[in-house]
Structure 1
Amino acid sequence: MDFPSYTEGVFATNSSGNYSLETTKLPPSKILLSLTLSVLAILTTFFNCLVITAIAVTRKLHHPANYLICSLAVTDLLVAVLVMPFSIMYIQKETWHMGQVVCTIWLSVDITCCTCSILHLAAIAIDRYRAITDAVEYSRKRTGARAGAMVAVVWLLSILISLPPLIWRHYSGDAEQEDQCIMMHHHITFTLYSTLGAFYIPLLLILILYYKIYRAAQTLYMRREASRASRHSCMTNGSMIPSSYPAGDGDGDGGPRSPEPISPPEKSFSEPSTEEPPRERVRVSVKAFHCKSRRHESRSESRSDSRSESRRSQFYQGPRISGSRERKAASTLGLIIGAFVICWLPFFVKEVIVNTCSSCSTSMEMADFLTWLGYLNSLINPLIYTIFNEDFKKAFQRLVRCSHYL
């Protein structure tokens, strides 16, 4: 992903432009680097194809939340297929030999797809924020058409962010440099426009939304613990409240349901395909009704001490399980934000520094490393957003085993 730079940028080349037969023999370090980058491109292609195929053929994964993940996988697949191979050849030869038409197309796909991948992460954060903070109302609005509209908006914004620098490069005369494929200009405005729209604004949005998601999840966790305390008060009077939802209690959108209570943080962060809206008020009222009825029943029933002890042990086991799920959700959230920041922040910091400081520059090796560190996010995305979801795990296992019963 090569943003505008008036110094030797991400794929800077030697100024001589000489390409003799002696240079065709690559040193071992270049061969090893090319093989390593090729492996990364192949792995990125494989995992994103696996996610797309799993969502396409597994009926249980046909959920609006997973449509965003599928679109993210498609975008990352485009990065692996259309961007990475040209980058490997460019790094290997250190000059551009495929003409300026191909150069313009490659730069367009590079910037647009990388920007679109980042904006997809922001769209997923928005979707999960609405799913946990306004679950009942959002479950009615969370349709496939709405998910498709979000994907269309993401692609439109990506094109609008990427187009101005490309147009400026075409009319500024930089394309006359036949041995290079970079964008060079002297306008800081384009740098700020590109970096703010492609990274810094989405980063701020992601941080704010996931912080609010975590706080909302903590609030729901406290409410659940309060309902557990109410259940315990019923137990002390000789009754036990069942832990499942009332009959007929399900999602309005017809999504998957779980027969036992789950941790809201876990479902919001790592399992968007099986999110369910919280119904704390309904559950508390139902439990209160059961408490009153069970108290009358317990007066006419004799219960052994062993059964009471076993049920108390079941109750005290619940908070421990919930706490572990909350820690798992928090760790998943940390992985999502941490991977995104580690992969893209160094690149965009470099772009701002190089394009705002006339005396600042970066080496070709460092620029290539930072660029591929950003590309690496396209490999990490399909792993982070699916590996913590049990439905995806089962679908992957069946695909790997070539099972036809999905």
Structure 2
Amino acid sequence: MDLPNCTLGALASNSCVSYDSLDTAGTPPKKIMLTLTLSVLAVVTTVINCLVITTVIVTRKLHHPANYLICSLASTDLLVAVLVMPFSIIYIQKEIWVMGQIVCTIYLSVDITCCTCSILHLAAIAIDRYRAITDAVEYARKRTGARAAVMVAVVWGLSILISLPPLLWRHYSGDAEQDDQCIITYDHIAFTLYSTLGAFYIPLLLILILYYKIYRAAQTLYMRREASRASRYSCMTNGSTMPSSYPAGDGSPLPQSPVVPQDKSFSDPSTEDRERDRTRVAARACRRKSRRSESCRSESYRSESRRGTFGQGPRISGTRERKAASTLGMILGAFVICWLPFFVKEVIVNTCASCSISMELADFLTWLGYLNSLINPLIYTIFNEDFKKAFQRLVRCNHY
């Protein structure tokens, strides 16, 4: 991404190292290897994002608003791979801008807007996932294709608003001293703060907060499911341990009378009444004992579940929590590792007049940010079984 900075093929401040100061007689083999490596990254990024987009389009099972956001993210990353990376490779290889200022303006516009849009897409996906897990029933009704389209439109609108001021400043600054460079020169710290806060730091804070809440909500959901599972198991266990003799329409066991007359015609009426009374008393006592036994068994099961010593439920819950944590960790880790160094450099270089970095390091940090456009489609689809099966069918040309 190329915000106002001193990155090769990027917007630059006055504190940046000029390409004129570089030795253009660099070692050809190293430059060839660098060009080939960056070209391979651009091609792989293009292919992976095209694969994600095609998979969502041709697979009916993936026609879901959440996947529409992922498809839009892949489209944005595809634009970075097709319209930004090749120009940056040429700029690095030539060390000067040879394609004219009109192409330079288009290149910078696409670079800033698409990279900002890619980052904001990650924030939009985080918002969508947070709503889906914390307000599942209500949000399921609102989670439509139209709503996803509105979110995509808002993301693109914000991206244009964030990238527009630096571009307008470049257009009206009238600086004709650097015709062989494709940069923006300015002395206003406000542009740096506006661009970096809007394009990275605010979305980063939002993503961190939302994914933390998503993880906590998922943890709570797993605990509730385990409690529900424990309750169902308790009912099943109690039902299986009850005596098998039940009167019709009653859930309590049928008491066994200590004296059962062999023939009622020979029984004394008073003795029969006493037997009936004893039967009622025994039935009530048996019901109370059964309820106490059920309570004890239920409490024992809950205690064992909490200790994780009974059944597979707690272990399954732990596995799911670890998988969710690892997935969120990969998403956040890739995003932070790819973009944080670049934006830290942006703030330092453009707010400190005496600070500068080498062009090699600036190029590396820029392409580290571009690398996120390759990682995004992999992370957001590799843990989805539907996506993996759809990928396999697509590769085998076996879609129906």
Taking structure 1 as the reference length, the TM-score comes to 0.78
User: 1:60 — aligned with what?
Assistant: 61
Corresponding letter in the other structure for 2:124: A
Which consecutive residues of structure 2, in runs of 5 or more, have no partner in the other structure? 5-11, 242-247, 255-304
Query: Matches of 2:252 and 2:18 in 1, distance apart?
Result: 81
Which 10-residue stretch deviates more, 137-146 or 396-405?
396-405
Corresponding letter in the other structure for 1:13: Y
Query: Matches of 2:73 and 2:252 in 1, distance apart?
Result: 55
The answer to whether the 8 Å contact 1:2/1:183 transfers is no
Query: Matches of 2:252 and 2:322 in 1, distance apart?
Result: 39
Query: Matches of 2:186 and 2:314 in 1, distance apart?
Result: 59
Q: CA deviation at 1:83?
A: 0.2
User: 2:121 — aligned with what?
Assistant: 120
The partner residue of 1:396 within 384, 391, 395 is 391
1:90-101 matches, cutoff 5 A: 90-101=91-102
Report Cα offsets for 1:311-332 as digits up to 9, x if no partner: x9xx812332232122111100
Query: Matches of 1:239 and 1:52 in 2, distance apart?
Result: 52
Q: CA deviation at 1:96?
A: 0.5
The partner residue of 1:332 within 323, 327, 331 is 327
Q: CA deviation at 1:26?
A: 6.1
1:172 aligned onto 2:173:
yes
| Distance change in 2, residues 1:170/1:297 (3 Å) | farther
**Partner SS, residue 52 of structure 2:** helix
Query: Matches of 1:2 and 1:69 in 2, distance apart?
Result: 23
Report Cα offsets for 1:322-353 as digits up to 9, x if no partner: 32122111100000000000000000000000
Query: Matches of 2:27 and 2:395 in 1, distance apart?
Result: 37
User: 1:375 — aligned with what?
Assistant: 370
1:150-165 matches, cutoff 5 A: 150-165=151-166
Q: CA deviation at 1:184?
A: 1.1
The answer to whether the 8 Å contact 2:58/2:399 transfers is no
1:138 aligned onto 2:133:
no
The answer to whether the 8 Å contact 2:15/2:353 transfers is no
Q: CA deviation at 1:395?
A: 0.5
Report Cα offsets for 1:156-186 as digits up to 9, x if no partner: 0000000000000111123541111111100
The answer to whether the 8 Å contact 2:15/2:355 transfers is no
Q: Which has the larger radius of gyration?
A: 2
1:111 aligned onto 2:112:
yes
User: 1:250 — aligned with what?
Assistant: none
User: 1:260 — aligned with what?
Assistant: none
Please report the RMSD computed on the Cα atoms of aligned residues, expressed in angstroms. Answer: 2.3
**Partner SS, residue 399 of structure 2:** coil
Report Cα offsets for 1:87-131 as digits up to 9, x if no partner: 000001100010001001000000000000000000000000000
Query: Matches of 1:298 and 1:332 in 2, distance apart?
Result: 51
User: 2:311 — aligned with what?
Assistant: 316
Report Cα offsets for 1:125-154 as digits up to 9, x if no partner: 000000011110000000000000000000
Query: Matches of 1:200 and 1:59 in 2, distance apart?
Result: 36
Q: CA deviation at 1:296?
A: 4.3
Q: CA deviation at 1:298?
A: 9.9
User: 1:34 — aligned with what?
Assistant: 35
User: 1:245 — aligned with what?
Assistant: none
1:341 aligned onto 2:336:
yes
User: 2:290 — aligned with what?
Assistant: none
1:206-355 matches, cutoff 5 A: 206-239=207-240, 296=251, 316-355=311-350
Corresponding letter in the other structure for 1:338: G
Corresponding letter in the other structure for 1:124: I
Corresponding letter in the other structure for 1:342: I
1:2 aligned onto 2:8:
no
Corresponding letter in the other structure for 1:14: D
Report Cα offsets for 1:272-331 as digits up to 9, x if no partner: xxxxxxxxxxxxxxxxxxxxx9x94999xxxxxxxxxxxx9xx81233223212211110
**Partner SS, residue 403 of structure 1:** coil
| Distance change in 2, residues 1:394/1:28 (3 Å) | same
Report Cα offsets for 1:51-81 as digits up to 9, x if no partner: 0000000000000000000000000000000
The answer to whether the 8 Å contact 2:208/2:332 transfers is yes
Query: Matches of 1:297 and 1:171 in 2, distance apart?
Result: 88
The answer to whether the 8 Å contact 1:83/1:106 transfers is yes
Corresponding letter in the other structure for 1:394: K
**Partner SS, residue 2 of structure 1:** coil
Aligned positions, number:
333
The answer to whether the 8 Å contact 1:7/1:354 transfers is no
Taking structure 2 as the reference length, the TM-score comes to 0.79
Query: Matches of 1:238 and 1:54 in 2, distance apart?
Result: 49
Query: Matches of 2:175 and 2:203 in 1, distance apart?
Result: 30
| Distance change in 2, residues 1:346/1:321 (3 Å) | same
User: 1:13 — aligned with what?
Assistant: 19
Q: CA deviation at 1:7?
A: 3.6
User: 1:285 — aligned with what?
Assistant: none
| Distance change in 2, residues 1:239/1:49 (3 Å) | farther
Query: Matches of 1:63 and 1:123 in 2, distance apart?
Result: 15
Q: CA deviation at 1:8?
A: 5.5
Query: Matches of 2:357 and 2:91 in 1, distance apart?
Result: 17
The share of aligned pairs that are identical, in percent, is 82
Corresponding letter in the other structure for 1:193: Y
The answer to whether the 8 Å contact 2:226/2:317 transfers is no
User: 1:147 — aligned with what?
Assistant: 148
Query: Matches of 1:78 and 1:39 in 2, distance apart?
Result: 16
| Distance change in 2, residues 1:344/1:239 (3 Å) | farther
**Partner SS, residue 132 of structure 1:** helix
